[in-house]
Amino acid sequence: MEIYVVSRSRWVKSDTLVSLGELAKMVKLVVPFTQRSEYAVMAARHGCEIVPCKDNGIALTRKFCGDKCVSGKFIMLDDDLKFYRRISSTDWHLRYPADLGASITDLFSLVEKKLDRYAHVAIGAREGNNRMSWPGVECTRPLRALAYRRDEFLSVEHGRVAIMEDFDVTMQLLRKGLKNYVTTSWAQSQIMTQMDGGCSDYRTLELHNTNVRKFAQLHAGFVKLRDKKNKTGGKFGSRVEATIYWKKAYESSARNSK
């Protein structure tokens, strides 16, 4: 399974590369073509390969990763992630893998194995992990750490929305009758939404709200819009968000096939 870390304007430090440890040497670090020189020091520090991308925006950059994949399986990671292991099936508390005698390699081996059964797999988010069943959940929300079988990933339309493009791909796959699997025995997290660099280089509140509404139109009947307010995210503390009915989208594929 190929590992892609997608980064933009964050060439000083990558929490993801630090967290990957020895696995960082397997990483293809996908960065804007115009920033390839700036990332040279980071890539050398972690022993990973820089893959310059001329496409602009996260949607087309993810498509670029899929096009580059030659093994048939790949995972795309945000550049600001830390990884955790749940203590057990009966204890939902999360710890760093080494604290439980586990290795980050165990996590990526699990994801690769799950791709034999599922077209799309994700490492579950830390937020809400304690409310989800062990060791994983089908047909639910993926984010930040996304794995795919290349052929199924490339079978859907890309770039239809400028943000939430990962959710759009997930919904297209679910509506085609392809379940996803999200781990809960492992988890990942990031520091904050709209941190400097990454999509924040071009994602404005207007762009966000416009594309959330467009996403809802593309998946009418499976998305409900709502106003969200929280204490973090700066200007994005108040924004339009979507409640997404993942299982309903998957179930619709069976009805459509009759």
- What's the pLDDT tens digit per position in 48-67? 999 999 998 899 999 999 99
Residue 101 CB neighbour total at 10 angstroms: 8
Pick from 33, 78, 73, 36: nearest CA to 58 = 78
At 175 the pLDDT is: 98
For residue 202, the enclosing domain spans 2-256
At 65 the pLDDT is: 98
What totals of helices (H) and strands (E) does the chain contain, helices first?
Answer: 8, 12
Query: What are 241-255's pLDDT values in tens digits?
Result: 899 999 999 999 975
Domain count for the chain, please give it: 1
Kindly report the CATH number assigned to the domain that includes residue 97.
3.90.550
Cα 157 → chain centroid = 17
At 194 the pLDDT is: 46
DSSP β-ladder status, 120-125 and 180-189: parallel
Pick from 145, 165, 147: nearest CA to 156 = 165
| Rounded percentage of the chain residues whose pLDDT exceeds 70 | 90
47, 62, 156, 159: CA torsion to nearest 10: -170
At 191 the pLDDT is: 78
Q: What share of the chain is helix, strand, coil (3-state, %, to 5)?
A: 40, 25, 35
Global confidence as pTM? 0.91
* 8 Å CB contact between 137 and 129: no
Residue 37 CB neighbour total at 10 angstroms: 11
Query: What are 169-196's pLDDT values in tens digits?
Result: 999 999 999 999 999 999 999 975 545 5
At 227 the pLDDT is: 85
Residue ranges of the chain whose pLDDT lies below 70:
192-203, 229-237, 255-258
